[in-house]
A and B are shown apart, each in its own frame.
Chain A
Amino acid sequence: MEQSEVMDRVVKILTPWVKDEAALENVSMETNILEDLKVNSARLVDVVIAFEDDFDIEIADEDVDQVNTVGDAVNLISGKL
């Protein structure tokens, strides 16, 4: 799967949890999920589970520690496909 396709799906999955929708318009690999998109940190687990379901992968707790930006999520997912 192309990285751009993973990126599109990641952004689509993130959208319901994003509080700053304006930030979505300029989303990039460097966009911070918690700080820029204002996703509630307690809800990050739901986002990660949505990644698991959508891409049919399994993500360990420790993997989530490496996810700060959209690019981190894309790379993590790409590495498991």
Chain B
Amino acid sequence: MIVASRSSGNESQSDRAGSSARPDRVDPRLVERHACQRRVSWLAAPLWIGLSVLVMRLYFGYRIANASALRAQYRAIRRQSDAPLLVCANHLTLIDSFLVAWSMGSPGYWLRHFDELPWNTPERTNFGRTWLARSLIFVAKCIPITRGGAREDVGDVLERVRYLLQQGETALLFPEAGRSRSGRVEESAAAWGVGRVVGSVPGCRVLCVYLRGRRQETWSDFPARGDVMEVSMSCIEPKSDSRGVRRSRDLAQQIVRELMRMEAEHLRDR
């Protein structure tokens, strides 16, 4: 388990320009929609957070290895700075976002620090099929996204993530977009949307989280029952001298490379 906090370079002129030159215009409908969902989610938090952990612990029998140490390290990272924090994780199962959150904090911690509990961006086709599923993900701090969908819709989701980060809330994005079909973090799968978010939020830090069940060989819907999750964290501040789309790709690649480094370390120590 590793916790590092480091910058991948000094803040460049284009970093400052790229993040501060952007006018802060946010669609009022987005603000209203976000506030409404946040309120509903907060009111229902004791139920859905508690239930999620009970299902993971008692029904699936999952455990987080060294959970208390991990959570202490997460709190230490939080104490280091008030800067916006985006969580980026590798992606192997449908419930990775719940497992990542569970590894970072206990249910009690998330109830006391609700805005730190990351918003998640699940694939709409996986979770948005039925009215019940759509209601559940609405309550559980989820912003559905259609990967490969209309660019404008994807842009709206990224805009909302940018907005909530600037409000001091946290989001979890999977830089590889979907679950890794090879079971390994792949640089070629790096989606530049994550770089776009990081590049548009001044001072944004990225908490890279590598999570893998001890019995998780490749991707699947769920980890094996009773599996123990090994988790490591590394906090980085991606920087780039490039501009525009190139800059976003550069930032996204730095995040994915960090996850690849963590994976190599995980597999070496396995």
**A interface residue numbers (CB < 8 A to B):** 34, 40-42, 44-46, 48-49, 52, 58-62, 64-68
Contact = CB atoms under 8 A, between A and B. Distances in A.
A46 B246 CA distance: 9
Question: Looking at chain B, what size class is its interface with the partner chain?
Answer: 20 to 34
A-B interface, 9 closest residue pairs, ranked by CB to CB distance from nearest: A65-B155, A41-B148, A45-B192, A65-B151, A42-B191, A61-B196, A48-B245, A45-B249, A65-B152
B28 interface: no
Contacts of B199: 61
Contacts of B200: 61
Interface of B is mostly: helix
12 contacts: A34-B148, A41-B148, A41-B191, A45-B192, A46-B249, A49-B245, A52-B245, A61-B196, A64-B151, A64-B155, A65-B152, A67-B151
Contacts of B244: 52, 58-61
A42 B189 contact: yes
Nearest to B190: A42
B22 to A, nearest CB: 9
B267 interface: no
Contacts of A48: 245
A41 B146 CA distance: 11
Name which of A46, A49, A61 has the most chain B CB atoms within 10 A of its CB. Answer: A61
Contacts of A58: 243-244
Among the interface residues B196, B245, B249, which one has the most CB atoms of the partner chain A within 10 A?
A: B245
Contact of B147 (A41, A61, A66): A41
A2 to B, nearest CB: 25
Given A41-B148, A42-B191, A68-B150, A61 B245 contact: yes
